[in-house]
Amino acid sequence: MEIRHAISTDIPALMVMDHGYQTDHVWQMALNSSPTETTIAFREVRLPRLMRVGYPRDPARLADEWTNSSAIFVAATDQTYLGYLIIESGTAPETGWVTDLVTDAPRRREGVATKLLASARRWCREQGLSRMTLEMQSKNYPSLNLARKLGFVLSGYHDKYYPDEEIALFFTLTLR
């Protein structure tokens, strides 16, 4: 598997990847507020059945937006595209912000996302950034588990962040 920077001819293949995922768990948010205190908690909830979740952004936007990204990494073998990662700098101080991390469905659980994140981590260090943040839907249990496995910690959330008004969770890794 090769990880490299994206070029224009990659974009059509990245757009047609299966961006959705399946999950049997979600993180549910509970908000309790009083005049003197606000408590926010996320808890893991097992769903009664497997749920298919669509990607929160339109993959077709890549055709117009790919040149505006700080970096796009592509995972590929020969001419088979396995996944991609989009990272931005300048979103938050000293932070590389991963907005998209996609592994094509047939290649999931093969380490593609882990290798893409390792390349993004190296890129962040080369840019002099001290943190890397992943954003994801609260329903994206596979990504939540990957982030925690790789040492990322929950650093925040944003209600109604995505176009479908889904909650975004942010996981951050301090780079050494």
Domain with 139, as residue range(s), is 2-17+55-174
In a domain, 115, yes or no: yes
- Decide: residue 69, CB within 10 A, 0-12 exposed, 13-18 middle, 19+ buried: middle
Contact 84, 113 (CB under 8 A): no
Grouping H, G, I as helix, E, B as strand and the rest as coil, residue 49 is strand
Instruction: Specify the pLDDT at position 1.
Output: 93
Q: Determine, yes or no, domain membership for 94.
A: yes
Model confidence band, residue 67 (pLDDT cutoffs 50, 70, 90): confident
46 domain-assigned:
no
| 102 within a domain of the structure (yes/no) | yes
CATH of the domain at 134: 3.40.630.30
Check residue 46 and give its pLDDT. 96
Whole-model pTM above 0.75? yes
Number of domains in the chain: 1
Distance CA 2, CA 112 (A): 10
User: pLDDT by residue (tens digit) across 48-64?
Assistant: 999 999 998 889 988 88
Beta bridge partners of 153: 172
pLDDT (0 to 100) of residue 3: 97
pLDDT tens-digit profile of 130-169? 999 999 999 999 999 999 999 999 999 998 888 888 899 9
The closest of 138, 93, 99, 141 to 120, measured between CA atoms, is: 99
Residue 33 placed within a domain:
no
pLDDT of 72 > 90? The answer is yes
176: pLDDT strictly greater than 80: no
Rounded Cα–Cα distance for residues 146 and 151 (Å) = 9
Nearest of 164, 167, 115 to residue 154 by alpha carbon = 167
Mean pLDDT of the chain: 93
Confidence class for position 25, pLDDT limits 50, 70, 90: very high
What pLDDT, on a 0 to 100 scale, did the predictor assign at position 68?
Answer: 87
Q: Provide the percentage of residues in the chain whose pLDDT is more than 90.
A: 81
Question: What is the signed CA dihedral for 78, 116, 95, 174, rounded to 10 degrees?
Answer: -150
Question: Considering the chain, what percentage of its residues have pLDDT values greater than 70?
Answer: 100
3-state secondary structure 105-161: HHHCCCCHHHHHHHHHHHHHHHCCCCEEEEEEECCCHHHHHHHHHCCCEEEEEECCC
Q: Which residues share a beta bridge with 168?
A: 137, 158
